[in-house]
Structure 1
């Protein structure tokens, strides 16, 4: 990757990180933490997922800005490769957050049941 694109990726990644931290800061008092994490993770995946378009030797670009650019300024709209990359990155991030959320709910439920069994005087009287 050329030096200019490496520097551009560093600036873009830092700006995205600042944007995500600001989003987390303003949403930190939400009662639904899972929704906050879902929004932030899907946004991060859409903004930071790399993709190539056109020639194989073209530099890697972030998928969401490239999708918006192609949608607005190309005559044929966004290419299928870029659209698929955006859908896969966003969907994968959403699935990751949903699965981790389900895992946490399962672990909390198991801990609550174990605590109930330990505190039950009838089960502990044996």
Structure 2
């Protein structure tokens, strides 16, 4: 990758991280923190994941901006590999958050159940 593209990637990544931090800051008081975390993780995945193109010596370009550019300005629309990269980046982020959400719900359920049992020794839910 040439020096110009490295500098462009650094600027793009830094501005994307600043935008994600600003999103986290403004959404920090939401009651459902898992929604905030899911939105920010999906946004980070589609904005920072590089697209794999069919050209052998092409420069890595972020998935979402490339998808939008190809959809709007190219005759045939977005290339299939760019669309696939976008789907897998967002789907992977959503899958990670689903697993995290299920585990945290189970842990919270067990913690509440243990707390109720400690408060009431006659509590038995079988």
Q: What is the TM-score of this pair, normalised by structure 2? A: 0.91
Partner of 2:118: 118
Partner of 1:15: 15
Whether 2:36 is the aligned partner of 1:58: answer no
Partner of 1:94: 94
Work out the CA distance in 2 between the residues paired with 1:37 and 1:87.
19
What's the CA shift string for 1:25-82, capped at 9, x where partnerless? 1111222211111111111101001113241110111000000110111110000000
Work out the CA distance in 2 between the residues paired with 1:24 and 1:77.
33
What's the CA shift string for 1:93-117, capped at 9, x where partnerless? 0111121011111111111112222
Shift of 1:85: 0.2
Work out the CA distance in 1 between the residues paired with 2:91 and 2:54.
24
Contact 2:54 2:81 in 1 (8 A): no
Work out the CA distance in 2 between the residues paired with 1:110 and 1:97.
20
Partner of 1:6: 6
Q: What is the TM-score of this pair, normalised by structure 1? A: 0.91
Deviates more, 1:37-46 or 1:24-33: 24-33
Partner of 2:104: 104
Partner of 2:43: 43
The SS at the match of 2:122 is helix
The SS at the match of 1:122 is coil
RMSD across aligned positions (CA): 1.3
Work out the CA distance in 2 between the residues paired with 1:30 and 1:89.
25
